[in-house]
Protein backbone atom coordinates (compact mmCIF):
# COMPACT_ATOMS: atom_id res chain seq x y z
CA UNK A 1 0.00 0.00 0.00
CA UNK A 2 1.33 3.39 -0.96
CA UNK A 3 0.70 6.16 1.58
CA UNK A 4 -0.76 9.21 -0.16
CA UNK A 5 -2.45 12.44 0.81
CA UNK A 6 -6.26 12.29 0.60
CA UNK A 7 -6.18 8.47 0.75
CA UNK A 8 -7.33 6.44 3.78
CA UNK A 9 -4.71 5.92 6.47
CA UNK A 10 -3.78 2.27 7.07
CA UNK A 11 -5.61 0.77 10.02
CA UNK A 12 -3.45 -0.03 13.03
CA UNK A 13 -3.65 -1.37 16.54
CA UNK A 14 -1.05 -1.17 19.29
CA UNK A 15 -0.53 -0.72 23.02
CA UNK A 16 0.94 2.29 24.76
CA UNK A 17 3.17 2.75 27.80
CA UNK A 18 0.18 2.03 30.09
CA UNK A 19 -0.80 -1.14 28.17
CA UNK A 20 -3.83 0.67 26.76
CA UNK A 21 -4.85 -0.42 23.27
CA UNK A 22 -5.15 2.21 20.54
CA UNK A 23 -6.42 1.77 17.01
CA UNK A 24 -7.21 4.11 14.15
CA UNK A 25 -10.96 3.62 14.68
CA UNK A 26 -10.63 5.13 18.18
CA UNK A 27 -9.85 8.47 16.55
CA UNK A 28 -12.65 8.58 13.97
CA UNK A 29 -14.16 12.06 13.98
CA UNK A 30 -10.97 13.66 15.34
CA UNK A 31 -7.72 14.87 13.87
CA UNK A 32 -4.79 12.62 14.72
CA UNK A 33 -1.07 13.40 14.76
CA UNK A 34 0.66 10.04 14.30
CA UNK A 35 4.39 10.48 14.63
CA UNK A 36 7.08 7.86 14.20
CA UNK A 37 10.46 8.22 15.84
CA UNK A 38 13.60 6.07 15.99
CA UNK A 39 14.25 5.43 19.70
CA UNK A 40 13.35 6.46 23.24
CA UNK A 41 15.89 8.53 25.19
CA UNK A 42 17.96 9.66 22.22
CA UNK A 43 18.63 13.41 21.86
CA UNK A 44 16.47 14.11 18.79
CA UNK A 45 13.59 11.89 19.90
CA UNK A 46 13.62 13.44 23.37
CA UNK A 47 13.54 16.97 21.89
CA UNK A 48 10.65 16.01 19.60
CA UNK A 49 8.60 14.35 22.38
CA UNK A 50 9.22 17.24 24.80
CA UNK A 51 8.23 19.72 22.11
CA UNK A 52 4.91 17.90 21.68
CA UNK A 53 4.47 17.88 25.47
CA UNK A 54 5.29 21.61 25.73
CA UNK A 55 2.64 22.38 23.09
CA UNK A 56 0.14 19.72 24.18
CA UNK A 57 -2.44 22.14 25.57
CA UNK A 58 -2.75 23.94 22.23
CA UNK A 59 -2.38 20.79 20.13
CA UNK A 60 -5.15 18.97 22.00
CA UNK A 61 -7.58 21.76 21.07
CA UNK A 62 -7.26 20.49 17.49
CA UNK A 63 -5.99 16.88 17.51
CA UNK A 64 -4.97 13.78 19.42
CA UNK A 65 -1.30 12.75 19.42
CA UNK A 66 0.25 9.29 19.21
CA UNK A 67 3.95 8.51 19.06
CA UNK A 68 5.20 5.19 17.64
CA UNK A 69 8.57 3.47 17.82
CA UNK A 70 9.88 -0.06 17.99
CA UNK A 71 10.74 0.27 21.67
CA UNK A 72 9.07 -1.90 24.31
CA UNK A 73 6.12 -0.88 26.49
CA UNK A 74 8.54 -0.76 29.46
CA UNK A 75 10.95 1.52 27.57
CA UNK A 76 8.07 3.84 26.65
CA UNK A 77 6.90 3.89 30.27
CA UNK A 78 10.34 4.92 31.55
CA UNK A 79 10.71 7.50 28.74
CA UNK A 80 7.28 9.04 29.38
CA UNK A 81 7.83 9.14 33.15
CA UNK A 82 11.31 10.64 32.83
CA UNK A 83 10.05 13.52 30.65
CA UNK A 84 6.49 13.77 32.02
CA UNK A 85 4.92 12.91 28.67
CA UNK A 86 1.14 12.77 28.90
CA UNK A 87 0.27 11.36 25.49
CA UNK A 88 0.37 7.75 24.29
CA UNK A 89 3.52 6.17 22.87
CA UNK A 90 2.72 2.97 20.99
CA UNK A 91 5.13 0.07 21.25
CA UNK A 92 5.71 -1.59 17.87
CA UNK A 93 8.59 -4.07 18.34
CA UNK A 94 7.42 -6.21 15.39
CA UNK A 95 7.17 -3.10 13.17
CA UNK A 96 3.56 -3.89 12.21
CA UNK A 97 2.47 -0.23 12.37
CA UNK A 98 5.84 1.08 11.21
CA UNK A 99 5.68 -1.11 8.07
CA UNK A 100 2.07 -0.17 7.31
CA UNK A 101 3.02 3.51 7.31
CA UNK A 102 6.27 2.89 5.41
CA UNK A 103 8.20 4.45 8.28
CA UNK A 104 10.91 1.80 8.36
CA UNK A 105 14.49 2.94 8.10
CA UNK A 106 17.58 0.80 7.64
CA UNK A 107 17.65 -0.31 11.30
CA UNK A 108 15.32 1.95 13.28
CA UNK A 109 12.07 3.61 12.25
CA UNK A 110 12.34 6.86 10.30
CA UNK A 111 11.28 10.15 11.80
CA UNK A 112 8.07 10.88 9.91
CA UNK A 113 4.68 12.27 10.92
CA UNK A 114 1.22 11.80 9.45
CA UNK A 115 -1.65 14.18 10.01
CA UNK A 116 -4.87 12.17 9.70
CA UNK A 117 -8.18 13.97 9.27
CA UNK A 118 -11.46 13.11 11.07
CA UNK A 119 -12.52 10.93 8.11
CA UNK A 120 -9.40 8.77 8.54
CA UNK A 121 -7.59 10.12 5.49
CA UNK A 122 -4.00 11.33 5.31
CA UNK A 123 -4.10 15.13 5.26
CA UNK A 124 -0.37 15.81 5.44
CA UNK A 125 2.93 13.91 5.56
CA UNK A 126 6.01 15.39 7.21
CA UNK A 127 9.05 13.61 5.78
CA UNK A 128 11.63 16.20 6.83
CA UNK A 129 11.20 16.81 10.54
CA UNK A 130 13.02 19.51 12.48
CA UNK A 131 12.62 18.23 16.05
CA UNK A 132 12.86 21.73 17.52
CA UNK A 133 10.04 23.22 15.43
CA UNK A 134 7.91 20.21 14.51
CA UNK A 135 5.17 20.63 17.12
CA UNK A 136 4.65 24.32 16.30
CA UNK A 137 4.67 23.53 12.56
CA UNK A 138 1.95 20.91 13.07
CA UNK A 139 -0.02 23.31 15.26
CA UNK A 140 0.05 25.97 12.54
CA UNK A 141 -1.09 23.43 9.93
CA UNK A 142 -3.85 22.13 12.19
CA UNK A 143 -5.18 25.62 12.75
CA UNK A 144 -5.44 26.06 8.98
CA UNK A 145 -6.87 22.61 8.23
CA UNK A 146 -9.04 21.89 11.27
CA UNK A 147 -10.83 25.21 11.74
pLDDT tens, per residue, the chain with 147 residues: 588 999 999 999 999 999 999 999 999 999 999 999 999 999 999 999 999 999 999 999 999 999 999 999 999 999 999 999 999 999 999 999 999 999 998 888 999 999 999 999 999 999 989 998 999 999 999 999 976
Catalytic residue numbers, as ranges: 45
Alpha-carbon distances of 47 from 4, 19, 39, 91, 132, rounded to whole Å: 27, 24, 12, 19, 7
Q: What are 51-55's contacts with CB under 8 Å, separation 24+?
A: 51/131, 51/132, 51/133, 51/134, 51/135, 51/136, 52/85, 52/87, 52/134, 52/135, 53/83, 53/84, 53/85, 53/86, 53/87, 54/135, 55/135, 55/136, 55/139
Residue 146, pLDDT score: 75
Residue 1, pLDDT score: 59
Domains of the chain plus CATH, in order, are: 13-146 (3.40.30.10)
Alpha-carbon distances of 41 from 2, 29, 71, 135, rounded to whole Å: 30, 32, 10, 18
Residue 9, pLDDT score: 97
Amino acid sequence: MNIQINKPAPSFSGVDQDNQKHQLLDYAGSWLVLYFYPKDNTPGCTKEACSFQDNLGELKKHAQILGVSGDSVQSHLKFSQKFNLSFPLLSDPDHQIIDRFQANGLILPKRVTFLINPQGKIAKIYQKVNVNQHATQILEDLKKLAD
